[in-house]
Structures are given as structure tokens and as C-alpha cells.
Structure 1
Amino acid sequence: MSYKHNNLMAMRNSYWNDLNPTAVKEKLYFQQMLVDNGIFESATAEDAKHLFFSLPSIIIVKGYAHGFMHASVQVLICQHIQANKQLLQQKTEMKIKFNL
């Protein structure tokens, strides 16, 4: 595992375990995005976690910088969801993309 991968995975884990109100609200928003994009009729917290951990590094970095509900980050997340619709529905593990 590369140094870059370790740091980004630590960021992902730290964010997902964060219980501050903003992070909780964003996690609920991930669930809603899955429903709005037709991935699931009703998305669970585990579905949202699967989405979050599949996001490319550029989305993680921008999400940390601007917030995951920022319009520019929302567009990137929607693009990711649409590009990986079937994998998300099947809950298939995806290779994380690193495009910084």
C-alpha cells in the first residue's frame, strides 16, 4: 500500500467515524444521493459508507476543503455515482482512483 493511499484511507476513516453534526448531515446526504440517483429505493448507512469509500481521491480532498454538500463536490459525486451505478447497486468493491 502506498503512502498516498494510507493517508487518504486515514482521512476516509477519520471522516466516517466523525460524529460532529456537519459530518452526520453529510452522511445522510450520501444516502439521499443514492436514492436520488436511482441506486436504491432506500439507502442505508452502510450503502452510504460504501459510496464514500469508493470515491476518487479528488472528491475526498475537495470534500474536505469545501464540504461534501458544496455544489462543485455534489457534481463530482453524482458523476461518480452515474459512472459506477451497477457496482454500487451490487455493492462491489471498487478500486479507488487517485487523481490529485
Structure 2
Amino acid sequence: MSYKHNNLMAMRENYWNDTNSAQVQKEKKFFQQTLLEQAIHNNPSEDDAKYLFFSLPSIVIVKGYALGFQHDTVQAMIFKYIQDNKKLLQQKGDIKIQFRM
């Protein structure tokens, strides 16, 4: 595992495990709602949202941290990612995390 991968994975884990931030809790609900609206799951759980979050390309994670995951630019990237990977997300298949630096 590369140094960059370790840092980005730590960012993902720290974000997801943050139970004190109202913003993070709101964004987790946003991920669930997005899975519902994009017809990935009929009743998405927090685990479904976590799967989506951990599979997002690194550029989305970095921009989401900087701007917020509900920012229009970041939302567009998330929606495109979901559409490009719809079948894998529905099946919770193995998705290779995409890096683009």
C-alpha cells in the first residue's frame, strides 16, 4: 500500500467514524438518500452508504473534504460515479478504489 493510499484511507475512516459532527451525520443521510434516488437500493442502510463512500474515487473524497459532500461540484462527481458503477454498487461487488492525483 502506498503512502497516499494510507492517508486517504485514514481520511475515509476518520470521516465515517466521526459521530460528533452534525455535518457528517447529515452527509451520511445524503449518501443514503442518493442511493435511493439513483435506484441503487430500495431502502439503503448506513452500511450501504458506507460502501458507496469507501468506494468513491479519491478525488471525490479530497474535494468532499474541502467543499463538503453536498456541494454541487462534488454531488455531480458522486452522481456520475454511481451511474458508471451502478451494477457493482447494487451487488456490492469488489470495486477498485480509483486514484487520480
TM-score, with length taken from structure 1: 0.98
Aligned counterpart, 1:91: 92
The structural deviation recorded for 1:81 is 0.4
Deviation digits for residues 23-55 of structure 1 (CA, Å, limit 9, x no counterpart)? 000001000000000101110000000000000
| RMSD, aligned CA | 0.5
* In structure 2, distance between residues paired with 1:18 and 1:72: 23
- Percent identity for Structure 1 against Structure 2: 59
Corresponding residue SS for 1:48: helix
* In structure 2, distance between residues paired with 1:93 and 1:47: 14
Aligned counterpart, 1:50: 51
Aligned length in residues: 100
* In structure 2, distance between residues paired with 1:6 and 1:21: 26
Deviation digits for residues 51-88 of structure 1 (CA, Å, limit 9, x no counterpart)? 00000000000000000000000000000000000000
| Structure 1 residue runs without a partner (length 5+) | none
Aligned counterpart, 1:5: 5
| Structure 2 residue runs without a partner (length 5+) | none
TM-score, with length taken from structure 2: 0.97
* In structure 2, distance between residues paired with 1:69 and 1:93: 25
The aligned runs of 1:1-100 (5 Å cut-off) are 1-19=1-19, 20-100=21-101
